[in-house]
Structure 1
Amino acid sequence: MRNFKLLLTGILLFSSLAMFAQQTLKGVVKEKATGEGLPGVSVVVKGTTNGTSTDFDGNFQLNRVKTGDVLVFTYLGFADKEVTVGTNFNITVELEESSERLDEIVVVGYGSTTVKDATGSVEAITAKDFTKGNIVTPENLLAGRVSGVNVVSSGAPGAGSQITIRGGSSISASNNPLIVVDGLPLDQNGVAGSRGVLASINPNDIESFSVLKDASATAIYGSRAANGVIIITTKKGKKEYTFDYDVQYNVGEVQDRIDVFSADEFRAIIAQQRPDDVGLLGTANTDWQDAILRNTLSSNHNFTARGTIFNRIPTRLSVGFTRQEGAILTSRFDRSSVSLSMNPSFFDNHLKINLNYNRAFEDSRFANGGIGAALRYDPTQPIYDANSPFDGFFQYYTVQPGGDVVVANGTQNPVASILLANSTGRNARQYGNLQFDYKFHFLPELKAVLNLGYDESEGSTLFLSDFQIGNPDQTLQFAGTRATGFSKVTNELIDGYLNYKNDFDKFGVDLTAGYSYQKFTNNGGNSGNLRDPDSFSTTFANPDVVNIGYFARANFSYDSKYLLTLNYRRDGTSRFSSENRWGNFAGAALAWRLSDEDFLKDSEVISELKLRASYGETGQQNLPGVNDIYLNRYRFGNQNSQFLFGGNAIQSTIPSVVNPDLKWEETTTIEFGIDYGLFDNRITGSVNYFQKTSDDLLFNAALPDGVNFGNAVIQNIGELQVDGVELNLNATVFDTEDFNWNFTFNATYLDREITELANGEDVRTGGTAGGTGNTIQLLREGESPFAFHVFKQLYDTSGNPIEGAYADLNGDGIINDDDRYLKENPQADVTLGFQSNFNYKNFDLAFNLRASIGNYVYNNVNSSRAQYAFLQDNAVLGNIPSSVVNTNFVNTSDVLNSDIYIENASFLRMDNITLGYTFDQPIKKLGARNSIRVWMGVQNVFIITNYSGLDPEVFGGIDNTIYPRARNILFGANIKF
């Protein structure tokens, strides 16, 4: 009995000591580089659900901690850190920016994960990885950085870009990815006066991008995610007071020109071929391309202040001013923006509030054509004429007194057509969101999130032209125009969801379920020539588009090695009738981390190896037209469309084409992937194979006669299949105290094929210049979309092309449209991206390379202009591309569809290279953070290609006087206090 009492006393004493050993640990988490406290850092006792997060000062308090426990610290953009608890229960922890991508947190739809725990195809790009250079719009931060993502930009100032992920999923509907900014999905429709959907967003305000590519990752966005999702997260406030000033200047010059005949060469041709018209030539030597192009000077200023206000609210305030001159006379883009972010925490960090508000103003002037005219205009004529009645510009008289024709349909003076026209656009945009994130006191594993978003754009355009021409009486006839346009677009969002996250020994659960409501409103109008009393004026008010969604996601893990993700969304949209309004979209993904298995966990070579497989369904509802095509709609006819009733003229109403059976496209994706890390993750990357199949393609297909109120209507007819392989490689080559070198490489192979079309019939598309109603591309079952539809050119025995001579491919003895064949397509077979970063002490050097292999372009500049058409009687004496000497073609109409104009446009381009030097702590009294980095760089450094045009990167594969890209020399400084 005595021994039992002693044993019982020992057990009670040991239990008391164990309970006494579990103490409350306090600490602070700081950013190592700056010493600033980090708010919102996750702190968890490893292997348990016992955890908390830091407050806005970086402080935390964690109960039930004992000596020997391992604490795991996790924060977006920073490497995870594990700290073993010793005898000191008041600690300071410093986190470093993540150099290992496997530890980085990736923002996904309605939540986040880490790269190593992701089961779908997701890539995160943070600020340190962004493409550098003269970046005016956000999408260009991604150029060449993510496999499967292709960004094609115009050379126009502030111009938007064409973004496609994995080749897109549609043919005639939108191929744009869904873009989400701080939880707010953006409207992809353009607004009057704006250069593009993202033109008003200041790239300096962006913290990170997450690119969701496979359907298991995108399915939670349902009916709008068939083309992938790009999630943009903006920068937030911090505790420490800091001030940043980023300034950049750049000078630009267009390096290349389209070769045309010089003035002397042109005079020689006219003297030989049309000697009677030599008197129409001038004595000048004008290079009209040089005349309309200019060297540019652009600037970018960003001011950022961060700190805590009212001792409670971490705040970030940013102001930006961008002025970008275009290479063509008068064109420019100005943007002023202000961004406010406030992210306080309350109730012992259980309630987090994020407020983001952005206001931006765009002011643009658009160049009024000029490029085509510069190629065409007579090089022997001057720009200015002191005796000219046309504001001092030289200009042909169409006719002389008495009616004698001098130049019929003469091209306008290119410089005058630009300078005498004022085409402007203005846009004001405000957008942002207010998010409440509450972790329940009685159940901290459960949190509720409410996100309220708003986006409003209001813009206008104005076109003024004072161009004048002469009439037979030699008096001036005013031919100016004045036209206006305006629109207002609003986007309202309410999202709410619950998230439960917990670990039960080795079994982890992360459950999310919620509701989403979003409404888009689009109103506006335009006018005809306001100086013409008979001009028209119209106002439109598209029906509101309302999207409602119910969504859920479940993440399960066992022993952190076996991962399962399930997604589901039920979507409803007002774009379709009640019978087809609702759709169900689901996705599933499995992952197995082999590197954590016993047979690999001690490997000195393989540090990370994960196998992934996923399947999912997503949708597409962006119609290439109106939003209510399922409704019976009527429009008023014009004054010539009236009928008599009871002796009165009644204006007619005309029914519009209708399709009540329309529903969204559906895309099914299957993917298999491998994520790998080698040599302690000095080399990391992934390999993915995927296949996308899009059914019920939204397509404007022909109708049988008499069955509707039009010749064609948008229908769900067709199927597209995309197969692809992606490779990603990230490597740290050197990592020493003084020298660091890392690079990233990505490659994508795509194969697109139309597997079904309406009634199996070909569809012509791809309009071209050089005639009326001409097309050069075709959609055909079994072929790539938008393949070029051309005649096979015949050549003589010397290898010279024979004008108008084509192969009789079908052997019927007649050369007609049936002899056209498909030759190549605009889609690249392979795209490559390479970025390298060097750091030696305080020096840094970075550059980007991109390559495209197997893409073709139809050179419409040559096909519509490089013919000796002016040798014909009464033809306008206009210049032409000098490439005509390679063909000696005369008649444009005879050669427009020749395959001689289909050119291989593969290229290797260096987008930019920058060199910088950082002065650490130039002002010692301001502390460790203050620094000044000065840098210089070159953008659009070089391009290697066999394409004969100005640039092989062309929207849609048809090159017809694109806006040229300039080479920019950049200078800048990043000043931090």
Structure 2
Amino acid sequence: MNKTKQLLSLTLFFLCLIGYAQQSVKGKVTEKSTGEPLPGVSIIIKGQVKGTETDFDGNYEIKNVKSSDILVFSFIGLQTQEVSVGNNTTINVELEDSAQVLDEVVVVGYGTTTVKDATGSVEAITEKEFTKGNIVTPENLLSGRVSGVEIRTSGAPGSGSQITIRGGSSISASNSPLIVIDGLPIEENSVAGSRGVLANINPNDIESFSVLKDASATAIYGSRASNGVIIITTKKGKSNYTLDVDYQYTFGEVLDRVNVFSANDFRNIVQQQRPGDVGLLGTANTNWQDEIFRTTGSNLINATVKGGILGFIPTRLSVGFTSQEGSLLTSQFDRKNVSLSMNPSFFEDHLKINLNYNRNFEDSRFADTGQIGAALRFDPTQPVRDASSPFGGFFEHRNGSNLLNTTKNPVAALLLANSTGKVFRHFGNLNFDYKFHFLPELRAVLNLGFDKAEGETKFTSSFNYGRAADLALLFAGVNSSGFSERSNRLLDGYLNYKKEFDKLTLDATAGYSYQKFEEFGGTSGNILDPASFADTFAATDVVNIGFFGRLNVDFLNKYLLTLNYRRDGTSRFSANNRWGNFGGAAFAWKLTNEDFLKDSDVFSDLKLRVSYGLTGQQNLPNVNDVYLSRYRFGNQNSLFQFANNPIRAIIPSVINPDLKWEETTTLEFGLDYGLFNNKFAGSINWFNKVSDDLLFNAALPDGVNFANSVIQNIGQLEINGIEFSLNGDILNTEDINWNFNFNATYLDREITKLANGQDVRTGGTAGGTGNTIQILREGFAPNSFHVFKQLYDSSGNPIEGAYADLNDDGVINDDDRYLKEDPAADVSLGFQSNFNYKNFDLSFNLRANLGNYVYNNVNSSRAQLALLQDNEVLGNIPSSVLGTNFVNTSDVINSDIYLENASFLRMDNITLGYTFDRPIRKFNKNSLRIWAGVQNVFVITNYSGLDPEVFGGIDNTIYPRSRNFMVGANVKF
């Protein structure tokens, strides 16, 4: 009997333990630095997929939790925390910033993962890691931050950037990555009057970037993913009311100049070289570069309100104003933005709705960048103004009222012309995410998106310099306009199923995507010129349809497998080539979850990855529908007479019904690591990309088509690369936090096949007609420089027009040109440091390129003594001519003497700030941060031009970057 009682007692005891173990845990998750609740925080039981998310007030509840379980709290950009359940029924957690990135959430195509669980090459950059400074367009938040990503931006205000990931994948088609904003893939091209497709987006509205680089990660986007994918996530609403106001003022100045002769030096060299033209010299002392460049002032203001509407709709409303002066006279960029995000949830968080809407207004005044070259050429002994001049009181070279056919006054050309652009753009999406009540492992997601932009341009000028021979039209001036409209509509829908089966976890996604692009526009011609025609166009609609799926398998939390597939159809190609199949596979092995590394004091995370995939490229150069029979009107030079009326000719356009997309296969091996409890973390990747059926505008035999060239699928490009990244916490104490990011990329690009093995000339240069300095050739990097080998005399001075006879045929001709270097850097480096001491913060960014070359076309086309005569007048030339004493441009234009190593080290930004906690005591939560900084701090390079970063590697004058001094304040309530 006693034994029976003891058995019953033990049974009841264990039943109580079991009942107690299956408890519920509630709590609230907040951000430590602000105290604000965090919606959307992932809470899972460690080693399982079972879990939940916080609601928009940061609250959560997770049921059937054992006392021995560990809860894992993770949120994008914040340090993941693990908390043992024990006897607790309420667990409140504060998440804080960290440089540790392995636990950060990464947004991938149609879903999310963490860096620790990613099988492909992906990187997440959040707001705390953004590049700082005078950031006007959002892509520059990434500058220097991600291995394999290169961003080049000119000095023009609000200018767009050239973005490449892992060197791109094409030769003449687009090399820009696909950009996705809140699930909406956006178009690469912008409307009339815009400075770029991202120019009218406010960087203040960006929460994070996810960069997808390898094919296993990008294949979910199929035919548009060969150049990588950048996913932009915008900021969302919160229930607690907050007010943020940011202000920034920037003072900028272009410090460097192209070295041309000063007025006095110009008089001396004219006396030496052209004594018969001394009478053409003036009496002024004008530095024309100083006259066209100016100091600038710019303002950025952002105000953001967050809070709950009707008690259950977390909302964010943001308003931004940007006014940026360009350093070139008359250049100006203004932008106004309104952004709204509403994020309610219903049915106990089973249905989540995200509404994002952005309304943007872009106003620009464009300065003619050709006047930078004119400032180099114009006679420095002539004045800017001439009271007797009929050309607005500006000095011009003229014979009475007849304008001489020579370089025009650059200041007059800038001030007397008014080229403006206005753009209205609004875009957004409505996302429904429903977790089924009867099957919570299954979610249905519907995403509806749109992007519509309307742009117009206007150009007026007091004088039509292009019609100088006709005085009536010259003094009539120019009055022209243009407009265009683009729209982009999206419907995405997919199902996601995620469930744990004992030792196996499955995460499966399947969906459908429909996207349509439309475009039309026109130009007025010069309405003051009877011979000028108005014109309109309507581009063929582009429709993309995709069926996609992804399967993630996690076995024992050690072995990870990802399979991606997408079947894409596009209206850009004919029915025979319209559909394509793209996909990828990746496998990862978490070595630190194996017994032999589980207790390692060195390796806190170690994961091996291998991936392979096929992606596509369908962005055709300047045309959507080359497979269709198309006809266009000719211009005023294509007329025929019918009776007494001139009739515009109708011209058939070139056609290629066999065209299809480029295809890129990528093989990658990677290692993700975390050291010393993730104090240091990063990755090492080796990849091989091979692009086939390259889209290229290649020559045609005479008479077989309606042009002598057409876009064709020819050639093959191979890119091999190595990437390395390291993130670390150097110091992390109560008062001091110092972290850094370092990344390095090595790229080797080679053309492995061209049509018929024939070279293709590229890289047109100034200084003659039809000159090229680059070439595409099998076995070499794209756009390698094609130059003559310069010969020198016994004193080391270059001999004009003397080149090496490389083929030993006794004749110096084009066959003696050789390939030397290319514009792309062999190695790119980035370094960012953030240091905080109590309320002080200091950050800076460094970037470096090694092995990139630039052809100095400023010198090759201008630094020759014969150019001291500019038709009937005198013209200035670069003072570098004194180092060569070259006379004629045509004799030296292709010499390798003008090819320069443009490797550089640049400090992009440095900022210093101080934060006042609760400066207004009547409010519980408020802060004021004041800061100052410098942008474009220094550049160390041996390149003799203004800037070693040149689009395409040919420097024929650029819009220079100014050095900017910035002050700002951030107020939070």
TM-score, with normalisation over the residues of structure 1? Answer: 0.96
- 2:251 maps to 251
Distance in 1, matches of 2:724 and 2:106, equals: 19
Distance in 2, matches of 1:897 and 1:473, equals: 36
- 1:656 maps to 653
- Is this contact kept in 2: 1:400–1:472, CA < 8 A? no
Q: Which moved more, 1:45-54 or 1:333-342?
A: 45-54
- Is this contact kept in 2: 1:390–1:468, CA < 8 A? no
- 1:70 maps to 70
Distance in 2, matches of 1:423 and 1:2, equals: 101
Query: In the alignment, does 2:703 pair up with 1:706?
Result: yes
Relative distance call for 1:652 and 1:326 in structure 2 (3 A) is closer
Amino acid at match of 2:397: Y
Secondary structure in 1 matching 2:33: coil
- Is this contact kept in 2: 1:98–1:104, CA < 8 A? no
Q: Deviations over 1:729-771 (max 9, x none)?
A: 1121111111121111111000000000011110011111111
- 1:347 maps to 347
Relative distance call for 1:477 and 1:828 in structure 2 (3 A) is closer
Amino acid at match of 2:388: N
Distance in 2, matches of 1:848 and 1:46, equals: 37
Distance in 2, matches of 1:945 and 1:907, equals: 5
- 1:424 maps to 420
- 2:237 maps to 237
Equivalences for residues 745-760 of structure 1 within 5 A: 745-760=742-757
Q: Deviations over 1:870-929 (max 9, x none)?
A: 4569653000000000111111111111111111110000001001111111123311x3
Amino acid at match of 1:365: R
- 1:143 maps to 143
Distance in 2, matches of 1:873 and 1:737, equals: 68
Distance in 2, matches of 1:921 and 1:640, equals: 71
Equivalences for residues 765-914 of structure 1 within 5 A: 765-870=762-867, 876-914=873-911
- Is this contact kept in 1: 2:867–2:877, CA < 8 A? no
- 2:930 maps to 934
Secondary structure in 2 matching 1:167: coil
Q: Which moved more, 1:894-903 or 1:165-174?
A: 894-903
Distance in 1, matches of 2:273 and 2:6, equals: 123
Q: Which moved more, 1:381-390 or 1:231-240?
A: 381-390
- 2:740 maps to 743
Identity of aligned residues (%): 72
Q: Deviations over 1:126-182 (max 9, x none)?
A: 000000000000111111100000001000000000000000100000000000000
Distance in 2, matches of 1:468 and 1:163, equals: 36
Amino acid at match of 2:374: A
- Is this contact kept in 2: 1:47–1:505, CA < 8 A? no
- Is this contact kept in 2: 1:936–1:971, CA < 8 A? yes
- 1:329 maps to 329
Distance in 2, matches of 1:707 and 1:338, equals: 53
TM-score, with normalisation over the residues of structure 2? Answer: 0.97
Q: 1:674 pairs with 671, 676, 684, which one? A: 671
Query: In the alignment, does 2:430 pair up with 1:438?
Result: no
Q: Deviation at 1:297?
A: 0.5
Q: 1:561 pairs with 558, 561, 570, which one? A: 558
- 1:303 maps to 303
Distance in 2, matches of 1:339 and 1:285, equals: 51
- 1:552 maps to 549
- Is this contact kept in 1: 2:584–2:612, CA < 8 A? yes
Secondary structure in 2 matching 1:599: helix
Amino acid at match of 1:830: V
Secondary structure in 2 matching 1:272: helix
- Is this contact kept in 2: 1:400–1:471, CA < 8 A? no
Distance in 2, matches of 1:723 and 1:45, equals: 41
- Is this contact kept in 2: 1:179–1:232, CA < 8 A? yes
Q: Deviation at 1:642?
A: 7.1
Distance in 2, matches of 1:639 and 1:841, equals: 70
Query: In the alignment, does 2:728 pair up with 1:727?
Result: no
- 2:101 maps to 101
Equivalences for residues 279-678 of structure 1 within 5 A: 279-368=279-368, 369-397=370-398, 399-400=399-400, 408-467=404-463, 477-637=474-634, 653-678=650-675
Q: Deviation at 1:811?
A: 1.6
- 1:953 maps to 949
- Is this contact kept in 1: 2:573–2:625, CA < 8 A? yes
Secondary structure in 2 matching 1:91: coil
Amino acid at match of 1:482: N
- Is this contact kept in 1: 2:100–2:728, CA < 8 A? no
Q: Deviations over 1:474-508 (max 9, x none)?
A: 99950511221110000000000011111122211
Amino acid at match of 2:372: I
Secondary structure in 2 matching 1:370: helix
Query: In the alignment, does 2:53 pair up with 1:53?
Result: yes
Secondary structure in 2 matching 1:101: coil
Q: Deviations over 1:315-354 (max 9, x none)?
A: 0000000011000111010000010011111000100000
Distance in 2, matches of 1:442 and 1:370, equals: 69
Amino acid at match of 1:618: T
Relative distance call for 1:902 and 1:54 in structure 2 (3 A) is same
Amino acid at match of 2:961: R
Distance in 1, matches of 2:504 and 2:383, equals: 80
Q: Which moved more, 1:76-85 or 1:488-497?
A: 76-85
Secondary structure in 1 matching 2:682: strand
Distance in 2, matches of 1:192 and 1:891, equals: 40
Q: Deviations over 1:684-719 (max 9, x none)?
A: 111100000000000111112222221111111100
Q: 2:940 pairs with 925, 940, 944, which one? A: 944
Q: Deviation at 1:942?
A: 0.3
- 1:30 maps to 30
Relative distance call for 1:643 and 1:100 in structure 2 (3 A) is closer
- Is this contact kept in 1: 2:473–2:529, CA < 8 A? no
Distance in 1, matches of 2:662 and 2:304, equals: 43
Q: Which moved more, 1:848-857 or 1:409-418?
A: 409-418
Amino acid at match of 2:909: N
- 1:129 maps to 129
Amino acid at match of 2:225: A
- Is this contact kept in 1: 2:305–2:317, CA < 8 A? yes
Distance in 1, matches of 2:469 and 2:571, equals: 57
Relative distance call for 1:111 and 1:273 in structure 2 (3 A) is same
Distance in 1, matches of 2:938 and 2:178, equals: 32
Q: Deviations over 1:253-304 (max 9, x none)?
A: 1110001111111112223333333222211000000000100000100000
Amino acid at match of 2:715: G
Q: Deviation at 1:94?
A: 2.0
Secondary structure in 2 matching 1:267: helix
Secondary structure in 1 matching 2:484: strand
Distance in 2, matches of 1:349 and 1:155, equals: 47
Amino acid at match of 2:919: P
- Is this contact kept in 1: 2:397–2:873, CA < 8 A? no
Relative distance call for 1:17 and 1:840 in structure 2 (3 A) is closer
Structure 1 unmatched runs, 5+: none
Structure 2 unmatched runs, 5+: none
- Is this contact kept in 2: 1:36–1:239, CA < 8 A? no
Amino acid at match of 1:941: V
Distance in 2, matches of 1:565 and 1:472, equals: 68
Q: Deviation at 1:786?
A: 0.2
Q: Deviation at 1:833?
A: 0.4
Amino acid at match of 1:308: G
Secondary structure in 1 matching 2:92: strand
Q: Deviations over 1:170-203 (max 9, x none)?
A: 0000000000000000100121010001001100
- 1:80 maps to 80
Amino acid at match of 2:269: I
Relative distance call for 1:486 and 1:320 in structure 2 (3 A) is same
Query: In the alignment, does 2:89 pair up with 1:89?
Result: yes
